[in-house]
């Protein structure tokens, strides 16, 4: 099977073929996810919560993201690798360039930044230098101290319009992908129609071009109460690999997310 690239994902969007994505933090799971047919691996700063046990993603350090990116890259042979840039690692275009370079050299194919239109100059500089960028909109976990809690974003018309406008403006600035987290499904649908780049959803409804979940959530091993958009795909399966295959199939055939996983 050929390697997944930006060109591959753009063609999938054009052909209305759903894109599957899961977080991944090590070589062993990278191999399993490749075998199961995952299109896109996200080395997420979510590792701060599911691996390190922190209450948020804020404590994750740049060197840790570089380390986990290298681990995932070592076990990957087909999927595209997207990597989160951790908290305050892209607060200026110069710092973003330095840190994104480290991630690309460790094996990333695209980096992900959280924020709105203020990211435009940084996106322009990164993409001009050959570093693809995904922009994370909606619920942005690195802003937890501003948001006060993890909650639905874009419910009010003004806020929904802001998310849609930001997605359009940032793709004009060069963003190669958009990730939407915890927004009404109407916003996920509107953004996916408004931009030409792939739109990844997590709690953004069934109309986005791709779906992503945190691996540990999808396997039902994250402790505590799970978010509405999470489904345990290991339930009813006899092994982890079959659970991952079930997730891929559900994303591809459109049965996930179901109405109970979406926000109105």
CATH of the domain at 112: 3.20.20.60
Residue 243 lies in a domain: yes
| 74 lies in some domain | yes
pLDDT at residue 147 is higher than 80: no
Return the biggest CA–CA distance within the chain.
49
Q: How many domains does the chain have?
A: 1
In a domain, 126, yes or no: yes
User: Which band of pLDDT confidence, cut at 50, 70 and 90, is reported for residue 148?
Assistant: low
How far apart CA 168 and CA 186 sit, in angstroms, is 16
Asked whether residue 149 carries a pLDDT value surpassing 90, the answer given is: no
Whether 114 is a known active-site residue: answer no
Q: Decide: helix, strand or coil at residue 196.
A: coil
Model confidence over 46-80: pLDDT tens digits? Answer: 999 999 999 999 999 999 999 999 999 999 999 99
Q: Please report the pLDDT score of residue 225 as a whole number.
A: 87
CA distance 66 to 108: 9
**Entry pTM:** 0.97
CA 47 to chain centroid, in Å, comes to 13
**Residue 1 falls inside a structural domain:** no
Instruction: Please report where in the chains the tokens 């987290």 appear, as a residue.
Output: 181
Go through the chain and tell me how many residues it has. 264
Residue 247, class by beta-carbon neighbours within 10 Å (0-12 exposed, 13-18 middle, 19+ buried)?
buried
Which three-class secondary structure state does DSSP give residue 9?
A: helix
In a domain, 249, yes or no: yes
Per annotation, catalytic residue among 63, 114, 181, 241? 181
Residue 215 to residue 28: CA distance in whole angstroms: 13
The answer on pLDDT for 94 being more than 90 is yes
Domain for residue 59, yes or no? yes
Range of the domain at 97: 6-261
């Amino acid at each position: 099977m050929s390697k997944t690239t930006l060109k591959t994902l753009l063609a999938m969007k054009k052909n209305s073929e759903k894109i599957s994505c899961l977080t991944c933090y090590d070589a062993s799971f990278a191999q399993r996810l490749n075998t199961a047919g995952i299109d896109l691996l996200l080395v997420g700063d979510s590792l701060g919560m599911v691996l390190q046990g922190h209450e948020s993603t804020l404590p994750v350090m740049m060197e840790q993201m570089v380390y986990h990116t290298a681990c995932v890259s070592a076990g990957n042979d087909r999927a595209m690798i997207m990597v989160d840039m951790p908290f305050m690692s892209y607060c200026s275009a110069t710092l973003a360039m330095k840190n994104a370079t480290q991630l690309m050299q460790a094996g990333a194919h695209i980096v992900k930044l959280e924020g709105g239109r203020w990211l435009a100059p940084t996106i322009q500089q990164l993409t001009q230098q050959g570093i693809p960028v995904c922009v994370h909109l909606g619920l942005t976990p690195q802003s937890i101290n501003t948001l006060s809690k993890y909650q639905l974003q874009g419910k009010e018309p003004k806020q929904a319009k802001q998310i849609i406008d930001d997605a359009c403006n940032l793709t004009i600035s060069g963003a190669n992908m958009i990730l939407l987290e915890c927004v009404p499904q109407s916003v996920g649908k509107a953004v996916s129609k408004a931009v030409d780049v792939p739109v990844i959803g997590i709690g953004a409804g069934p109309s986005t071009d791709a779906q992503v979940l945190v691996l540990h959530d999808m396997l039902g091993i994250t402790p505590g109460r799970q978010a509405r958009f999470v489904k345990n795909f290991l339930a009813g399966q006899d092994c982890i690999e079959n659970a991952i295959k079930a997730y891929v199939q559900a994303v591809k055939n459109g049965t996930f997310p179901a109405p109970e996983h979406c926000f109105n």
